[in-house]
A and B are shown apart, each in its own frame.
Chain A
Amino acid sequence: MENTSTSALANEPLLRIEGVSKIYDGHIKAVDQITLNVASGEIFALLGGSGCGKSTLLRMLAGFETPSQGRIYLGGTDITDLAAYQRPINMMFQSYALFPHLSVSDNIAFGLRRDGMAKEAIAERVEAMLKLVQLSQYTKRKPHQLSGGQQQRVALARSIAKQPKLLLLDEPLGALDKKLRVSTQIELVNIIKEVGVTCVLVTHDQEEAMTMATRMAVMSAGSFLQVGSPKDIYQQPNSRQVADFIGSVNIFDGLVKQSPANSAQAQCIDVECADALLRVPSNQACHVDMAVGVAIRPEKMLLSHKKPSAKINHVGGVITEMTYFGAHTNYHVKLASGKVLQVQVQSHVDEDNADLSWGDQVYASWGDNAMVLLTQ
């Protein structure tokens, strides 16, 4: 990669990960051939369950682990072999790792002092950081004298004080309780945007990833399942695993019956399932008798006592479970095949639903665009 031309450099993404793997004990692949570009200004989320390799990937970016294969470039420079303390990358640690023996301002100044910055400049920067995270009156406190939310803000201030090219966030909100999390998410994103730092964050919480990230990757077993904007991944999951991982979903298993070419608008594929015939708008390459899945989000379904007039894209069943959440109600509908369907109905949308109850025979229907064809 030494012969990169100048024109290519201009298009160079801020972070370039090339075929990076981490193999433990010679055979356990924690991270498997990851390639990824992150552009300047992006907030990129790595989402996955525990042991999916997201933390290992983050630690390789920070410099705490060395990749077994592949290279990592930051702003066009190969940083793969640099130690953590030599990289212009800073990290906000899970549960913060604030130095317990240092005050708030000393924690924030810690990294600046390592750079040999002038004393006045450090004081100035620390003050600016404290102002940014609204902790100016807490400078002298020790970390244990702060609440969880305040500690989180100190950790953020410490990690951006050195003005890193890349900021890493390891489960940034994992240590906060649920109520605080939502407001902190927005606050955190606002500060990151204000500073303008590029961000890679790791989380197991899909809501956190969706609300904070501009782009995200769903990880499993050391590989990316899908990379895209939160909306794309939610609306157009490319596999059962992704559809299942992000939010709740109903998946109908079936066989491709035929592809009725030249249908009205887009190309459609007919899928025959146990409970219904589904006509799915899709231009994926399919052959007859191929086993596929059709994913439909619970909130995109409608429930009614009346049988829809069309022959396709609806199923009938009996309500077996009903949970009232206030803003919406979740129904479990047992179909003839034994499959249980989850349906979420907004409370105010459809006053008709008021009389839906246990044991009712109902029909679930949905729009054409609610369906996503899953070939893997």
Chain B
Amino acid sequence: MNSTALKWFGRSWMLVVYAFLFLPIFTLVAYSFNDSQLVTVWSHTSLRWYKALMQDSDLIAAVMLSLQIAFLSALVSVFFGLFSAFALNRYRRFTGRGLLSSLASTPLVMPDVIVGLSLLLMLVSVQQALGYPERGLFTILLGHALLGTAYATVVVRSRLTEMDSKLEEAAMDLGCRPWQVFSLVTLPLIMPALLSAFLLTFTLSFDDVVLSSFLSGPGYSTMPMVIFSRARLGLNPSINALATVTIVVVSIVVIATTLYSLRQERQRKRDMALAQRE
């Protein structure tokens, strides 16, 4: 195979995989505008399912709950993720560092059912002993934040590793107390990582169904829980409409942030080249 053939083989391979990845998404969007009750038969274009979605108070309540939990969970995750990334990255030697490191990375790969079940059993034991916490928003939040903290730790940690530790020493040398070093130098420099950790953990929480199912109590159904229970029963076109809305929102956010950071990077390179020429 010569190099041109290889190039075309590569391109078609990538195209096929991308098609595989995006096919379901396009299907969701397309069928959300289908008037037919049967999700598999195309009749004609309409916004019927969007209207149905707006009147679906159960689903809307679930979306609101999910947004609420996702926001709180992202906040808590970034907070603890920042601490654990800092501990693992800045303190090279302390007893039990290895344990913390593996505890922080375990939820990344552990199947959701294990995390969910074990957390639930613990919370039930605590509740039997203390009478608290009642299962609901708080317990779901704990589960999501545990998962989120693990992801946030990875994101923040890689940024901290990239960061030149001499910058922190320079700050200290110029008279900063440790907390000033953190607030004046470290924090501004890792802010982009904190933002992307926030987005990531928000999405994780907004998307989760297994942990929520284990940890929620009566009256607390998140959006994925509602979708899941409906999807188990069969196909439901208003889910397509909901999917389209979330896809549009998410795509705008993701594409905008990617383009923004690409632009920043390009501007930065141009500046650097310009400075060298002077």
Contact = CB atoms under 8 A, between A and B. Distances in A.
Chains A and B directly touch (beta carbon < 8 Å):
yes
Interface in A138-170: 141-142, 144-148, 150, 158-159, 162
Interface string A28-48: 000000000000000000000
Interface stretch (B37-45, B197-205, B269-277): B269-277
A239 interface: no
A91 interface: yes
A97 interface: yes
Contact of A99 (B170, B177, B271): B170
B65 interface: no
Contact of B175 (A93, A111, A144): A111
A85 B166 contact: no
Contact of B275 (A90, A97, A144): A144
B189 interface: yes
Contacts of B167: 97, 99-100
B187 to A, nearest CB: 10
A62 interface: yes
A122 to B, nearest CB: 13
Given A90-B173, A114-B180, A145 B272 contact: yes
Given A95-B166, A144-B268, A147-B276, A101 B174 contact: no
Given A99-B185, A111-B174, A114-B180, A144 B272 contact: yes
A150 B175 contact: no
Nearest to B187: A101
A112 B257 CA distance: 36
Contacts of B185: 99
A150 B275 contact: yes
Contacts of A146: 275
Interface string B252-278: 000000000000000010011011101
A147 to B, nearest CB: 5
A324 interface: no
A146 B176 CA distance: 25
A101 B268 CA distance: 12
A94 interface: yes
Interface in B185-211: 185, 188-189
Most buried by A among B173, B175, B274, B278: B173
Nearest to A116: B175
A358 interface: no
Contacts of B173: 62-64, 84-85, 89-91, 159
B274 A85 contact: no
B211 to A, nearest CB: 37
B165 to A, nearest CB: 9
Contact of A101 (B176, B177, B188): B188
A355 interface: no
A97 B166 contact: yes
B123 interface: no
B275 A93 contact: no
A149 to B, nearest CB: 10
A2 interface: no
B170 A93 contact: yes
B271 A110 contact: no
Contacts of A91: 169-170, 173
Contact of A83 (B172, B174, B184, B276): B172
A100 B276 contact: no
B274 A145 contact: yes
Contacts of B169: 62, 64, 84, 91, 93, 97
A168 to B, nearest CB: 8
A351 interface: no
B259 to A, nearest CB: 21
A194 interface: no
A120 interface: no
Interface string B218-239: 0000000000000000000000
A110 B172 CA distance: 11
Contacts of A147: 275-276, 278
Contact of B271 (A97, A144, A159): A144
A183 to B, nearest CB: 16
Interface string B142-186: 000000000000000000000010110111111111001000110
B175 A85 contact: yes
Contacts of B170: 91, 93, 97-99
Contacts of B271: 142, 144-145
Contacts of B276: 147-148
A159 B171 CA distance: 11
A146 B184 CA distance: 22
Interface in A53-67: 62-64
A166 to B, nearest CB: 12
Contact of B174 (A114, A141, A144): A114
Contacts of B175: 85, 111, 114-115, 162
Given A89-B173, A91-B169, A115-B175, 19 more contacts: A62-B173, A64-B173, A85-B174, A85-B176, A91-B173, A95-B164, A97-B169, A97-B170, A99-B167, A99-B185, A110-B174, A111-B175, A114-B174, A114-B175, A114-B176, A142-B271, A144-B271, A145-B275, A148-B276
6 contacts: A84-B169, A84-B172, A91-B173, A144-B272, A145-B274, A159-B173
Interface of A: 62-64, 83-85, 89-91, 93-95, 97-101, 110-111, 114-115, 141-142, 144-148, 150, 158-159, 162
Sorted from nearest, which 8 A-B pairs have the closest CB atoms? A114-B175, A111-B174, A97-B166, A97-B170, A84-B172, A145-B271, A101-B188, A85-B175
